Structure 1
Amino acid sequence: MNVKKYFVAAFAALLTCAAQADEGMWLLQLMKQQNSIDMMKKQGLKLEADDLYNPNGVSLKDAVGIFGGGCTGEIISPEGLILTNHHCGYASIQQHSSVEHDYLTDGFWAMSRAEELPTPGLKFRFVHRIVDITDLVNAKVKAGEVDEYTAMTSPFLHKIAQEELAKSDLNGKPGIVAQALPFYAGNQFYLIYYKVYSDVRMVAAPPSSIGKFGGETDNWMWPRHTGDFSIFRIYADKNGEPADYSADNVPLKTPKYLPISIKGLNEGDYAMIMGFPGSTERYLTQSEVRQMMTAQNQAMIDMRTVYLDVLKKFMAKDDRIRIQYANKFAGSSNYWKNSIGMNKAIVDNDVLGTKAEQERRFAEFAKGKPEYEGVVEKIDAIVEKATPILRRLMYLNEGLNRTIEFGCPPAVMDKIKEALETKNDSLLEVGKKQLEAAYENIYNKDYSPMVDEAVAIAMLPALTQALKPEELPDFHYIIEKEYKGNAETFIKEMFNNSILSSRENLDRFLKKPTVKAIENDLATLYSRSKLAKLQETAQELAQATEGLELLHKAYIRGLNEMKLPTPSYPDANFTIRLTYGNVKSYDPKDGVHYKYFTTTDGILEKEDPENPEFVVPAKLKELIQKKDFGRYAMADGTMPVCFLTTNDITGGNSGSPVIDGEGNLIGCAFDGNWESLSGDINFDNNLQRCIALDIRYMLFILDKLGGCKHLIDEMTIIE
């Protein structure tokens, strides 16, 4: 079968599937082949396909990009203003925060360009060009240059991307990078060129009592009253090209930005989202869903519960620690709660039953087709063998790698040891410099040895409870034999007496390094043991899952063929996608109805001065009580905060623009709803909702609370 022709044919059938229109993370570059624009117009779109994506001109995609390493942002002014979520900008807000300048608590409002804060390490990426390289990759497989499995791997695709970039007219252009990725489990391949801007400055962020209002209690929940936004700006050189930070850089003159509509929303209004969904697994088998629940999600729930409990105690007592660990806590807790909700939703929404029915239909379809017969059974056999290994790996990774930061790099210590034994002074100097770098990497501004030690003291016993003795790293046996099973004593000695325990210990070792000191160093022993067990387990898993990728490739191709004429979209892989749907309420269970929007009335209803998640800033409370909402209020004088749509989103879509039928910005997507947290595995048309910040609430906060009318004047507001 010509795979490329098959997928084009499948996409062309989109018009036949109106009932499933809200589901789908669709590829922009295939809209015309899909004729999907006609379906969008039936739902309320007023634009043409080239207005959304035009490879030869300016379109909506030129106003959307990747913010940082895992979110979406949109351009909202002709001078490079970026709107994204507060939780997407959180790491940058925390980066700039200190006890003296606590922007997490107090918010930040730049009153002039001179006050906008350079943010080292923060980048913004625009999609510059998308190229179909399916034929190129398949030709290399056919010619024997690469096997079918290797053709799907990152090293091979990275090599292809660099080769194609070197041959293109973009080679040598400022900020251009190339990435090649598989789609549909390797049935199709695209090369994406990005233009990367590295001078991105922080402009505005509400206090966390607004940007994170509701905290973990409200995370993934509706009704929601969170002002989840932050604003940054792209700077470029005087020619508008990407450049590292310089005082001479100027705001980027963007070719496309989103006008902002404050006309208001009604149930049923058209809404589309353009962004970068991170990862979905909609093509898993029933056995793989069970594996996700028991091996992956449960490990994350168990280990992060321990980690987060420790952090909470320290953060509540010390403002310095609260700021240091704010971003770590937020990142860890988000997916901790997601895992809890996903496991619950898989059961509540009978995802396993849905998968079983899909597999039954696939078995009927596969009869007489050798490329598909027995594929699911082969996947299931691999999953059965791999699940206990994956469980071990997940607990080890969550319990050690993602929580305990302290350690001593064994490779560096081995280098120093070799240099001492062979009297190689140049190698010794290299090792010393690397050890210095390792120390600086640990003891950065966001690290507390006291907190890390407490995490380790809590984590090691929890890991011992979760795994069998033979599944643990070898340091477990050291604790049992030499420390009489007392992990706390081992940890305290490691944190207090190891070479990297303090600047004094490090300096003493660097002044007079010895082989004996290395061999007796507990942090080196711990790190070597940990890495060895992780590597051993990962290798065991790789052997157990050998062949799984090619089985998935066949299964997904077969599923998509089985569904014809209904088209299929590829799983999310943090590439630009379009999803379209409508503003819509929902009924989560019997007797319960959730309307499609919330107002500031709910902020005051939730207010609890004794609970840090529900503190309402005095100025905001005053504005709400006086109904001082200006032109941003609804017709009845109330102030909207958040709203719901049926758009298909996932992690990575955070910060994505919610756009109306005329191409105007109406909201900023920031969450999904609790009842559909199984949506990454199976989309539910009845329950799946995107939670978005109403753009009017953002403007109200920016104007009335932040006093940033100069920023609003930059924007194009449609009333």
Structure 2
Amino acid sequence: EAGEATFVAGHPGTTNRLLTVEQLKFQRDTQFPEYLVRNSELRGRLIQWGKTGAEPERIIQRPLQSIENALKVYRGRNTALLDDRLMADKSAREQGLREFVISDPALTRSVGSAWDDIANAQERMRQIYGRYLYLESAAGFNSTLFRYARQLVRAADERSKPNELRLREYADSNLQKLASSLLAQTPIYPELEKLTLSFSFDKMREYLGPDDPIVRQLLSAESPQSLAEKLIDETKLADASVREALWDGGSEAIAASDDPMIVLARTTDAEARAVRKIYEDEVQAPVAAGQERIAKARFAAYGTGTYPDATFTLRLSYGAVKGWEEKGEPVEPFTTLARLYERATGRAPFELPQVWLDARDRLDMTTPFNYVTTNDIVGGNSGSPLIDAEGRLVGLAFDGNIHSLSGSYWYDAALNRAVAVHPAIIITALEQVYEAKSIAKEIRSSR
């Protein structure tokens, strides 16, 4: 019922509630706008290609679902950072902690210029962001086949070094997992590869400019489309046995290879490594050191009164069943089965499976379906049990409302809501829709 206490035990993934104001500004002003523009356009390209035939429509489903989910998350986080309430709250809290540090000479010496160091690192990140994103993070080479090529090129180089001197992803502890992924028999769709790779070449030229050395090297005599087509048509890396031979052959095999995708990875690797080195030395390292000092200040100021960011460790959240207000109108905390059919349009994304349409006449439309609570959860909590004050299972958390996306940065009690599925609809679905009565019986008997 509304107002009933609820508790969620689970493993929330990651949050960014302890970032400095300058780190938040970097995400708001630089990182998120670029991501949203680039991937919104890529989404449109995928949808358009999917309309050209049944096979393209099938092929795009997984990448389209992935990109749409990511866009939803990034839009929600960007909206949160554009909220004056959030930024005012973060600024006030940061200023309060800085004043506490200043009031304690010993703490001042210990914490030092932590906030300024992080601010300087963010400015450096702004300067290198384009090249780091498009070269090292490979946003300019959006292709599974290029990813294979870079991994093969770097693995050959890194495995020749002592373990402690390698890039971390090529350490001995990671090599088996890397090889399993790299050498797996995975379907490659050439036309999809051409679409994503040509698009990423185009965006790289747009973001870095035509005078960037890598852009000139790649696109001075080729269009993004023609270069992508040539690379995908001529590379042999879609064949797992070819990748295995290059992996086993090491540096000699990579140096001797004339596969165009291997050549591309070889010729761009120095520039990518260079900007990675700048990032690790001038951004990542000072930020990590600064955050460590700020954490000491926070502990000195608040002791155990605050909790760390989520890291997939076990956490307990308390809350209550409660709706919220959307654009001046109340949103009730419970939905019923009737709303499922009211929302159905017969077309994606509101197309119900036939099994639910067939079961409609035998179902009780007043059955509770989903409900919302004030529990503070984030990605990683999906599947977590909701427990009431008497220790009874009263639902399974699986999502949040759109406002919960701001939970990466703060908990907004007015709007942030966890979404849980009600046990009644679980039993109804098992018994009356899916004919899985034995499972329902097992659930009932375990109460």
User: TM-score interval w.r.t. the shorter chain?
Assistant: 0.7 to 0.9
Q: Deviations over 1:553-609 (max 9, x none)?
A: 221232343346x711111011111111111111133x2211111122222222222
Alpha-carbon contact 1:295-1:394 (below 8 Å) kept: no
Match of 1:352 among 84, 87, 112: 87
Aligned length: 417
Q: What amino acid is the match of 2:288?
A: E
Question: Is 1:671 aligned to 2:399, yes or no?
Answer: yes
CA distance in 2, matches of 1:438, 1:321: 29
- In structure 2, the partner of 1:305 is 40
Match of 1:640 among 368, 378, 393: 368
**1:663 aligned counterpart, secondary structure:** coil
**2:431 aligned counterpart, secondary structure:** helix
Q: What amino acid is the match of 2:221?
A: E
Question: Is 1:594 aligned to 2:298, yes or no?
Answer: no
- In structure 2, the partner of 1:409 is 149
Higher helix share: 2
1:516-665 superposed matches below 5 A: 518=256, 520-545=258-283, 546-563=285-302, 567-589=305-327, 591-609=328-346, 611-624=347-360, 626=361, 628-629=363-364, 638-665=366-393
CA distance in 1, matches of 2:180, 2:297: 52
Q: 1:469 to 1:529 in 2, by over 3 A?
A: farther
CA distance in 1, matches of 2:426, 2:216: 55
Question: Is 1:399 aligned to 2:139, yes or no?
Answer: yes
Q: 1:324 to 1:444 in 2, by over 3 A?
A: farther
Alpha-carbon contact 1:305-1:336 (below 8 Å) kept: yes
Q: 1:487 to 1:470 in 2, by over 3 A?
A: same
Q: What amino acid is the match of 1:364?
A: E
Alpha-carbon contact 2:184-2:240 (below 8 Å) kept: no
Q: What amino acid is the match of 2:393?
A: L
CA distance in 2, matches of 1:355, 1:516: 50
Between 651-660 and 519-528, report the one with greater CA deviation: 519-528
CA distance in 2, matches of 1:515, 1:526: 15
CA distance in 2, matches of 1:413, 1:557: 41
Between 655-664 and 683-692, report the one with greater CA deviation: 655-664
**2:370 aligned counterpart, secondary structure:** strand
Q: CA deviation at 1:492?
A: 1.0
Q: CA deviation at 1:343?
A: 0.7
Question: Is 1:339 aligned to 2:74, yes or no?
Answer: yes
Q: 1:540 to 1:595 in 2, by over 3 A?
A: same
Alpha-carbon contact 2:235-2:259 (below 8 Å) kept: yes
Q: Deviations over 1:143-193 (max 9, x none)?
A: xxxxxxxxxxxxxxxxxxxxxxxxxxxxxxxxxxxxxxxxxxxxxxxxxxx
Q: 1:448 to 1:573 in 2, by over 3 A?
A: same
Alpha-carbon contact 1:406-1:442 (below 8 Å) kept: no
Q: CA deviation at 1:442?
A: 7.5
CA distance in 2, matches of 1:317, 1:661: 55
Q: Deviations over 1:649-691 (max 9, x none)?
A: 1111122222222222222222222234222112212221111
1:186-265 superposed matches below 5 A: none
- In structure 2, the partner of 1:28 is none
- In structure 2, the partner of 1:456 is 197
- In structure 2, the partner of 1:702 is 430
| Structure-2-length-normalised TM-score | 0.81
Q: CA deviation at 1:391?
A: 4.9
Q: CA deviation at 1:506?
A: 9.0
**2:82 aligned counterpart, secondary structure:** helix
Alpha-carbon contact 2:49-2:57 (below 8 Å) kept: yes
Q: 1:501 to 1:477 in 2, by over 3 A?
A: farther
Alpha-carbon contact 2:367-2:425 (below 8 Å) kept: yes
Alpha-carbon contact 2:3-2:321 (below 8 Å) kept: yes
- In structure 2, the partner of 1:481 is 220
CA distance in 1, matches of 2:245, 2:443: 58
CA distance in 2, matches of 1:506, 1:688: 47
Q: Deviations over 1:497-537 (max 9, x none)?
A: 2343669999999xxxx999956432112222444443222
Q: CA deviation at 1:496?
A: 1.1
Q: CA deviation at 1:314?
A: 4.8
Q: CA deviation at 1:322?
A: 5.6
Q: 1:448 to 1:558 in 2, by over 3 A?
A: same
Q: What amino acid is the match of 1:453?
A: K
Alpha-carbon contact 1:300-1:398 (below 8 Å) kept: no
**1:662 aligned counterpart, secondary structure:** coil
Q: What amino acid is the match of 2:324?
A: Y
1:258-337 superposed matches below 5 A: 266-315=1-50, 326-337=61-72
Q: CA deviation at 1:352?
A: 1.6
Q: What amino acid is the match of 1:601?
A: A
Higher strand share: 1
**1:653 aligned counterpart, secondary structure:** coil
Q: CA deviation at 1:490?
A: 1.2
CA distance in 2, matches of 1:399, 1:356: 32
Alpha-carbon contact 1:299-1:395 (below 8 Å) kept: no
Q: 1:368 to 1:438 in 2, by over 3 A?
A: closer
CA distance in 2, matches of 1:587, 1:350: 17
Query: What RMSD in Å do the two structures reach over aligned CA positions?
Result: 3.6
Q: CA deviation at 1:613?
A: 0.2
CA distance in 2, matches of 1:409, 1:466: 24
Alpha-carbon contact 2:130-2:208 (below 8 Å) kept: no
Alpha-carbon contact 1:345-1:676 (below 8 Å) kept: no
Q: CA deviation at 1:627?
A: 5.3
Alpha-carbon contact 1:413-1:518 (below 8 Å) kept: no
Q: CA deviation at 1:700?
A: 1.8
CA distance in 2, matches of 1:459, 1:439: 27
Question: Is 1:690 aligned to 2:418, yes or no?
Answer: yes
Q: What amino acid is the match of 1:389?
A: I
Which runs of no fewer than 5 residues in structure 2 stay unpaired? 158-174, 247-251
Question: Is 1:680 aligned to 2:413, yes or no?
Answer: no
Between 385-394 and 353-362, report the one with greater CA deviation: 385-394
- In structure 1, the partner of 2:125 is 386
Q: 1:398 to 1:648 in 2, by over 3 A?
A: farther
**1:667 aligned counterpart, secondary structure:** strand
CA distance in 1, matches of 2:28, 2:130: 10
- In structure 1, the partner of 2:440 is 712
**2:340 aligned counterpart, secondary structure:** helix
Q: 1:305 to 1:373 in 2, by over 3 A?
A: same
| Structure-1-length-normalised TM-score | 0.52
Q: CA deviation at 1:330?
A: 2.9
CA distance in 1, matches of 2:100, 2:245: 70
CA distance in 2, matches of 1:379, 1:388: 14
